[in-house]
Amino acid sequence: MVGTGRRPPRSGVSSPAVGVREVLYSVYERRLSRELSAVDDGPRHVALMLDGNRRWARDAGLVDVNDGHRAGAAKIADLLGWCEEARVEVVTLFLLSTDNLSRPTAELEPLLEIIADVVDELTGPDAPWRLRVVGALDLLPAAISGRLAHAAVRTTGRAGLELNVAVGYGGRQEIADAVRKLLLQHAESGTSIEELAEVLDVDHIAAHLYTSGQPDPDLVIRTSGEQRLSGFLLWQSAHSEFWFCEAYWPEFRKVDFLRALRDYAARHRRFGS
């Protein structure tokens, strides 16, 4: 499903016109909130691909594309608040893929610092969320992986929603890591390959995924108009609903989020049946 809200023009729009548009968005947002308040079976797990930061920065005329990443990072706390209002229990954010790790050092290092900074902010003493870092942390610089791991420990026992941040993440890598852990576990217990092959099923692999113990995503949202998974939650999204939005991530509004929830509520999920 593609969200129909196009990015607004960045020039030639008078201030009164912008003000009217914001009022209309506010009215629309309240109407959507009322509609969704009567929905009992909203998504438990929402996964988001926060795409379009660099393109937003270029369109805005910014010289440093990292300003786009900073603007996107500043949006995350708002999103989590919207998810809490919608009674979402688990949120997974795709922040950095394994493919992104091949970017030039001059671009990658500032991006990693921005990610570590926003994770620190999201796990501060006043934040209610429980953090899990999903991804191949061993592929990240030691200082960054250490900060992320420490942030996750800091949130142990908190009562808020579960927040997964996918950093250095690739769906194929996750499945390979799960199979590797499974084989090592059974090798340590003395199980032969033949014995394992006799009993191996999808639940054995699922138990070793980065998101083990959590429900699979009900709804996957991608911003920026791209309509592909890019390796995100390949295993877990087998029965997910997808919603694609034209807005770049820094421009993603609460009304966009509510429209995604409304569209999800209108669908009949068949889970392959």
Indicate which residue of 100, 216, 218, 256 is catalytic.
Answer: 100
**Angstrom distance (rounded) from CA 5 to CA 247:** 7
- For 93, other C-beta atoms within 10 Å of its C-beta total 22
- 51 as an active site residue: the answer is yes
Indicate which residue of 51, 216, 218, 256 is catalytic.
Answer: 51
Structural contact between residues 223 and 247, judged by C-beta atoms closer than 8 angstroms: yes
- 100 as an active site residue: the answer is yes
Burial class from Cβ neighbours inside 10 Å (0-12, 13-18, 19+) for residue 195 reads exposed
Residues with active-site annotation:
51, 100
